[in-house]
Copies of this chain bind each other. A is one copy, B any other.
Amino acid sequence: MSNYESHSYELVADCRLRAATDLFAHTWDPVALAALRTGPRRRRELRSAIGGISDKVLTETLHRLLANGLVNRRAYAEAPPRVEYSLTDLGESLVDGPMRALGRWTLEHGDELFEAQEAWHGRYRLADELNGDLHPNRA
């Protein structure tokens, strides 16, 4: 972070982009946000709506979303406990801005993505391609 060469400034300074992409860095964070797009949900509802997340990780995920100001938390003094999570204004702007754009992209280009992944699938390793491509005088 302390080394600024001529070129590096362009993207290191664009850390604002990283601040945004980091919001998608953890597996379940975007899914949890998407699960909240229809309105407030209790913790238990979220768990089943997401499907496949562990209890501990759900806590961590919600903690991050709270820390990033993307969701609100309301606890009611009832028994059994009742806690509702909902999107903040900031969270909503993220969901129906960039995340909706991601959704559209997946609808339009998802097949291409899957085809590309399938086409690669183990058949080429970088080393192999290198030895045939960069050093063709071998063999």
Which one, B8, B16, B110, B126, contacts A49 given CB within 8 A? B8
A10 to B, closest residue via Cβ = B49
Cα-based distance from A83 to B25 in the complex (angstroms): 29
A59-B126, A81-B134, A117-B67 are contacts. A50–B106 as well, Cβ < 8 Å?
A: no
B51 near A12 with CB under 8 A, answer: yes
A68 touches B126 (CB 8 A): no
Taking the full assembly, how many copies of this chain does it contain? 2
Partner-B contacts on A (CB < 8 A): 1, 3-12, 14, 16-21, 24-25, 27, 30-31, 34-35, 45, 48-52, 59, 63, 66-70, 73, 75, 77, 81, 83, 90, 93-94, 97-99, 101-110, 112-117, 119-120, 126, 129-130, 133-134, 136
